[in-house]
Structure 1
């Protein structure tokens, strides 16, 4: 449909997504060098169905937002569906586009409002949207008004940390005990004997977040992947007022891809 809209101006066709087994690439958007009005999307066939869907949506985001910048986009696994600040801005924008496309905010808001948040609920919503659990959790962090932090651990060390806007405004961030950081002692993330905790465990927020007072509470959730060398930690902190003297969170706010799409 896009070539018939302003978002596909100058394009004759986007060919149906095709599998392409390239080890260094999770997905790509390519312009036909022999016909500049034709584009194609490729994805890693070894990825799960949910990952493939997100990859195609991510590349579609590049088509809508960035195709005027270059004729080819090769995206590795980290840039697709990571949402991390370490990847380039256009990759984060393509991730945001895919998240908005596959996990619409109005539906997400309706489903989240029906009951309290835990990993049971987030897993159910991920299945409804046909996206990976990780992608849904990242979308939840970017969408929620709760003070929430999502942490990805790889072989016992921190790889990514995502914070909700409320967590950023109140300067909530996890404790760093090294570089790279390890889970704080006394937490579910540090306990190798506990693989899953979908209902959550109530703790003092100060165990996780050094800026939090000892009387503040946090609920910790844990999801271990099959190999157990990769772990997701979800932290939902007790509500707190933004610190008026701290304006650093404003520097992190920028126009996201959804706003860009709408403003065109």
Structure 2
């Protein structure tokens, strides 16, 4: 049975499948089991035949055809010094490509780099595969129960969600940023320079974002990550006066990732007004409730 479902529609389908299959052991999602079982049951003539890790210089994962003529597909993901959470997200991303895009891919398949998978900053089918992975692994309905849209989370709150869903702290933070009503900016840096940054919608609409695409954004001298002063757990917090990060008071929470030699910084800005974000998460919540009744 073939389908023209979008990647996001497939994510909703897989979420309902997993919820019904293992209601008491829903998280973290065993994406390898879902991918293998679903492909064999629904696409027996074009299944996923293997999911393997390897040392992949220059990219994070790939979906590639097997056989000539093709009689199946394989997924490979980078496992060289990579944490389990990143592996899970990469596999889910490639599974999204398999479900939604395999019939339109070039003969060699598709390779996906860190910009698409880690930063979730891809375009076209990469963006669609990212949305699939995020929704499958971290459904909005469940995430919002742990961190409501109006809540200002602590680092521990976000770590707890990362552990619950079996993903990286970066992936969990990016997911929270998609639906929060808070003005917040997430910054990933190394050696005093921001590699990339992401603002919540309320922050972005109020002009609070960092430009990192064309050149390195050097952190303010007073920034915790720039000072490299952390406690025994690799954490630091501070409230900065106007003019340090932005022209208004900014609360900074930073945690050091020794695994990837990165500093992860979350900046909170005052709530100037109540922001009711009408974004995709709300539409997906409604859609999920509708599909669960069907």
8 Å CA contact retained: 1:153, 1:232: yes
The structure 2 residue matched to 1:201, chosen from 216, 238, 249, is 238
Correspondence for 1:54: 89
Q: Quote the offset at 1:24 in angstroms.
A: 3.0
Deviations 1:121-161 (A, max 9, x none): 11111111111111111111123221111011123211111
**Aligned residue runs from structure 1 range 172-191, under 5 A:** 172-174=208-210, 179-191=215-227
The structure 1 residue matched to 2:135, chosen from 91, 100, 109, is 100
Correspondence for 2:178: 142
Deviations 1:153-172 (A, max 9, x none): 12321111111111122121
Q: Quote the offset at 1:37 in angstroms.
A: 4.8
Mapped partners of 2:189, 2:101: distance in 1: 31
Q: TM-score, normalised by structure 1?
A: 0.77
**Aligned residue runs from structure 1 range 4-153, under 5 A:** 12-46=46-80, 47-70=82-105, 71=107, 72-84=109-121, 87-113=122-148, 116-153=152-189
Correspondence for 2:272: 240
Mapped partners of 2:259, 2:91: distance in 1: 26
Structure (1/2) with the larger helix percentage:
2
The structure 1 residue matched to 2:256, chosen from 215, 224, 240, is 224
8 Å CA contact retained: 2:85, 2:167: yes
State the number of aligned residues.
Answer: 240
Aligned residues: CA RMSD:
3.3
Partner SS, residue 238 of structure 2: strand
Q: Quote the offset at 1:109 in angstroms.
A: 0.2
Change (3 A) 1:69 1:121: same
Deviations 1:101-130 (A, max 9, x none): 111111110001397411011111111111
Change (3 A) 1:115 1:163: closer
Partner SS, residue 207 of structure 1: coil
Partner SS, residue 238 of structure 1: coil
Correspondence for 1:157: 193
8 Å CA contact retained: 2:199, 2:209: yes
Partner SS, residue 151 of structure 1: strand
Gaps of 5+ in 1: 243-252
Correspondence for 1:247: none
Mapped partners of 1:45, 1:169: distance in 2: 38
Q: Quote the offset at 1:77 in angstroms.
A: 2.9
8 Å CA contact retained: 2:63, 2:76: yes
